[in-house]
A and B are shown apart, each in its own frame.
Chain A
């Protein structure tokens, strides 16, 4: 029954490890509120259509009992939601996770891979210059900067945990990948981490979901999920091209 609704509501494809549980919980919620809305409207219409009788008086059966049932229902849904939330958000990524830095700026996303030294070079806003090929302001004097790789497309291996560090250079941006059921704002002055595992290779949309100015609607990028060996080949080729 649940998959039937997913075709009706047109949820986009689900390509992340935590996604199916989220979808299941979302659809369960949608079914429940659909049922409650229908039931409440049936009660409303029945109450209006039935022959007049004396006013109901039993506060316990009409108010407190249904409220107790609703409290149990909403609590159960909330507990399940918190479990899922805790699984993805309460702890950081494992140390082996692939580290990638995401920078949002008006109106583009940039992705930085730390290179063979596994360390990001520092950034300074005064170095930031898109025309000079350094949109996020990597400090050229930092030895860790030399092997950093900056791209405008996010390429990640499937079935490997990814840890993203979100930055915003100017205003708040919303990093969102609907097909990975991911959303987290990038806030100026903050380093915010999210971690996830993509399961299905493909090309997915990265959007900006926090109003960031005139070009908000066109601030997007592609996410390409590829097989792990393909990812290694891609990053080796890009490193070679960038730092020959």
Chain B
């Protein structure tokens, strides 16, 4: 009756001998990615606090280091952006939770290419090590920001950190691009080939749609980034001139051979860079949809529309990179075209918000920590997203480009919404994250979770809302100093200091609030309270007993999916039921406490 279990050494189902450092088990790799991202987010946050402190207390000397010099500040900018974008916001949602949860959600027991998967992780880890080594080479870390515009990034003499530090930055991001491309191919093949019986595309959870679309974007975007990085490397070391115009004079050295254009880099970089921000946020969107439905005991409102908008955001996401270049020397007619595609993406994004509101509308949901963070995601997505259409208008961008208004926009919609998605995922999936073959997994403390949520929400808004105002007042990004600046600019910048002081205090508060989360993590791991098998009454397959980490991996039960996710029913009797994707019978749905 049951089909024969797949041969143990077949490539699609190769099983790891047990937890080990070089495991090919998707859960072990997912945990490794998450541990890496947790380490990276701690570093990235501390770097941002140094930046905030330096802006308002420029004379402050960092213990064991000394005062922060302008080049030090720009290194902080570069490392903070690079670490957060790549090693946190790309790594954790897509590779971390993707590996941990995705196979089970489609009824697979492994990723399609387990060895490739492990190789991707170790390349990512190597990339992070290379990046973190860069401050310790002569000249220090690169100072050209995560966008690395040439000629600043193409010529070693353009500034401290642009020699060995920049080479390490390029090497790190090239490694990361290779790892992400491989990992995304793995995700795409896994979703396309390893869905269990009955798991049609329409029945895929929206989280899987998020990971799938982000992986599509990754393959397209990271391959272009990798090409751009190689071209830049050739400009630096092989005498080419892809990005260097003839006659460029940097620090007394004239570039005489070849005639390239820095604008080519901007096109290639932003062709990657803009999809990258959707790669960071699409998994969070999918998770938010599923968590809101789960705790509202409802179906996701407009499920197929949600799938369509996810794909549409992915498609439009690769057509609007030029909005980063309105004042960069782009043809003004092209700006108009890119403005139109950018405004257009507001519509699928708005459709998602409407769906989320309709899903929770008069649902009296259960406010678990995961639900609170998903609601926080919606709030931050609205607040951060609405400034998008403003920045999409070239004439307004002419005033706002590279001011703190932009910093506020992308920190709310990408960084904060992204982090809220990650926290929601952590609280929601912690039983699966902490489960091993011996332990059933445990829950995080809900009480600490609620404290963590409210403190983080207040901290996020208190930090990033005021940045809109310093930006409107004219404060540019990437300024190492706001005081003791000569000329009329000095008055303009000094006027923003009081508000900047507030932002710095709020940032310290926001960072300190994360100690509650760390305490919660440590507490739960030291005194694990065993989790029930399906603590949130979820309907999706990752909670299937046969797919639990404790289940025997070569279990031969055939998995069969009977329906779409989020089947919650309230018959006329008033008693609520939920039906899992794999079960025939409805289970009484008592709200979890």
Show the binding face of A for B, using Cβ within 8 Å. Answer: 9-12, 22, 25-26, 29-30, 33, 36-37, 40-41, 43-44, 47-48, 50-56, 59, 62-63, 66-67, 70-71, 74-75, 77-78, 81-82, 84-86, 88-90, 105-106, 124-126, 128, 137, 169-172, 174, 176, 178, 181-185, 187-190, 192, 203-218, 220-223
Contact = CB atoms under 8 A, between A and B. Distances in A.
B357 interface: yes
B415 to A, nearest CB: 18
B250 A170 contact: yes
Per DSSP, chain A at the interface is mixed
Given A210-B402, A214-B70, A67 B489 contact: no
A188 B151 contact: yes
Contacts of A206: 489
B362 A205 contact: no
B393 A78 contact: yes
B554 interface: no
Contact of B473 (A11, A25, A81, A105): A11
B584 interface: no
Contacts of A172: 149, 151-152, 262, 328
A189 B248 contact: yes
5 contacts: A37-B382, A63-B302, A66-B354, A170-B249, A215-B70
B328 A185 contact: yes
Contacts of A185: 327-329
B481 interface: yes
Given A67-B351, A74-B389, A185-B328, A81 B395 contact: yes
Interface stretch (B98-106, B224-232, B335-343): B335-343
A36 B472 CA distance: 20
Given A85-B332, A205-B487, A170 B327 contact: no
Nearest to A220: B489
B365 A48 contact: yes
Contacts of A213: 74, 143, 152, 158-159
Contacts of B383: 37
Closest 10 pairs between A and B when the two form their complex, measured CB to CB: A189-B245, A81-B393, A220-B489, A205-B489, A178-B474, A89-B332, A125-B249, A33-B386, A205-B488, A52-B364
B329 A62 contact: no
B301 to A, nearest CB: 7
B506 interface: no
B378 interface: yes
Given A182-B398, A213-B74, 16 more contacts: A12-B492, A47-B363, A54-B570, A62-B301, A63-B305, A78-B389, A81-B339, A84-B395, A170-B250, A171-B149, A174-B401, A184-B327, A203-B488, A211-B77, A211-B477, A213-B158
B451 interface: no
Given A37-B386, A71-B347, A174-B327, A88 B395 contact: yes
Interface in B357-387: 357-365, 375, 378-379, 382-383, 386-387
Contacts of B537: none
Interface of B: 70-71, 74, 77, 143-145, 149-152, 158-160, 244-251, 254, 259-263, 298-299, 301-302, 305, 327-329, 332-333, 335-336, 339-340, 343, 346-347, 350-351, 353-355, 357-365, 375, 378-379, 382-383, 386-387, 389-390, 392-396, 398-399, 401-403, 469, 472-474, 476-482, 485-489, 491-492, 495, 570
Given A67-B351, A188-B245, A218-B485, A82 B336 contact: yes
A23 B85 CA distance: 33
B473 A12 contact: yes
A10 B271 CA distance: 34
B500 to A, nearest CB: 13
A106 B482 CA distance: 19
Contact of A211 (B144, B379, B389, B495): B144
Contact of A51 (B260, B262, B362): B362
Contact of B479 (A169, A183, A217): A217
B263 to A, nearest CB: 6
A12 B403 CA distance: 13
A187 B361 contact: no
Contact of B336 (A85, A126, A189, A208): A85
Nearest to A166: B329
Nearest to A126: B254
Nearest to A176: B476
Contacts of B476: 174, 176, 207-209
B346 A85 contact: no
A36 B386 CA distance: 8
B151 A170 contact: yes
Nearest to A19: B399
Nearest to B154: A171
Contacts of B478: 211, 216-217
Nearest to B386: A33
A127 to B, nearest CB: 10
Given A90-B332, A218-B485, A189 B259 contact: yes
A189 B261 contact: yes
Q: Quick one: which of A81, A137, A221 has the most chain B CB within 10 A? A: A81
A213 to B, nearest CB: 4
A132 B305 CA distance: 67
Contacts of B364: 48, 51-52
A170 B247 CA distance: 9
A52 B363 contact: yes
Interface centre among B259, B333, B473, B489 (most CB of A within 10 A): B489
Contact of B354 (A67, A86, A124, A178): A67
Given A85-B395, A184-B327, A189-B259, A74 B346 contact: yes
B392 A78 contact: yes
